[in-house]
Amino acid sequence: MTARPVTRRIGVGRTAVPLRGFYLGMLFLLYLPIGILFVFSFNAGTTLRFPIEALTLDWYAEVIGNGPMLAAARNSLLVGAGSATAATIIGLLVSTAVLRFRFRGRGALLALAGLPLIVPFVVMGVAFFLLFVAVDLPRSLLSVAIGHTIIATPYATLIQLARLSGLDPALEDAAMDLGATYPATLRRVVLPLMGPTVVAAWLTSFIVSFDEIAVAIFLVGGDPTFPVFLYGQVRFAQRLPVLIAMAVLLMIGTVALTLVALRLRTKE
């Protein structure tokens, strides 16, 4: 009589926890809406119901000819690029100051840089709105870019902080012993070693900005970003198929950028 193989299950005390079913259920809930979105982007009908009438690529063709939608996407690209660049620079400066310099308030500086991670974006949107009204700054893509810079800074800071903490400070000391100033050391020694990480931080910040809507709703002016435009158009049923097709395209682009960022972070 052969003994049965013993299957070990993770649990607390004597209570076994069926993690396999939990993980499968979690994956199902996460990816079912995305799968439905992808399927209905090819639906020839304008109603979201099964069974699907027929398959078509017409909605993707209409995306190319939709001027206001493409303008909103362009606005998101501009805001995302600007805020990602600013957040990456701020994150690099904060990381360098915290790890390479000794001064009072280093912990407070790092906590301040990470504060937007725990403050609800709606609260930040209201706060920025009141601030810009107080300083008489009109709502525009610039105001959205400022808000997105703040919320993207923690991501850029943490990504670059992790990489910079793994660099040997002796390399910087050697460069300065040979006569280089610290800014020159950062430019010629630190940045080349952190190149992929800096790009990964920029891509992550860009994705955060491009997909953000809570802050943008309060700060946007007459030129909406794409998430704000999409939110405003959802109430029109006849426009929904084109919005779904555009959402699928943006989802594919976001996933591609995320994979590139992860690849760059794991290369080092």
DSSP H or E run through 74: helix 67-100
Residue 11: phi and psi, rounded to 5, are: -165, 180
Task: Quote the CA–CA distance of 34 and 27 in Å, as a whole number.
Answer: 11
- Can you give the pLDDT of all 268 residues of the chain as single tens digits? 555 555 555 555 555 556 777 778 888 888 887 888 788 777 776 666 677 777 777 778 877 777 888 888 899 999 999 999 999 999 999 988 888 888 888 888 888 888 888 888 889 999 999 999 999 888 889 999 999 999 999 999 999 998 888 877 888 778 887 888 878 888 888 888 888 888 889 988 998 998 888 899 999 888 889 888 888 877 766 677 787 888 888 788 778 877 877 776 665 5
Q: Which amino acid is at 13?
A: G
This prediction has a pTM of: 0.78
Task: Assess contact for 39 and 55: CB atoms under 8 A.
Answer: no
Query: Rounded to the nearest 10 degrees, what angle do helices 67-100 and 141-164 cross at?
Result: 40
Structure tokens at 266: 């794991």
Is 106 in a helix, a strand, or coil? Answer: helix
Query: Rounded to the nearest 10 degrees, what angle do helices 67-100 and 240-267 cross at?
Result: 20
Q: What is the sign, positive or negative, of the torsion defined by CA atoms of 193, 194, 200, 203?
A: negative
Task: Assess contact for 245 and 63: CB atoms under 8 A.
Answer: yes
pLDDT, position 43: 77
Is 11 in a helix, a strand, or coil? Answer: strand
Instruction: Say which residue the tokens 């003994």 belong to.
Output: 3
Domains with residue ranges and CATH for the chain: 59-267 (1.10.3720.10)
Residue 10: phi and psi, rounded to 5, are: -80, 135
Structure tokens at 70: 């493409």
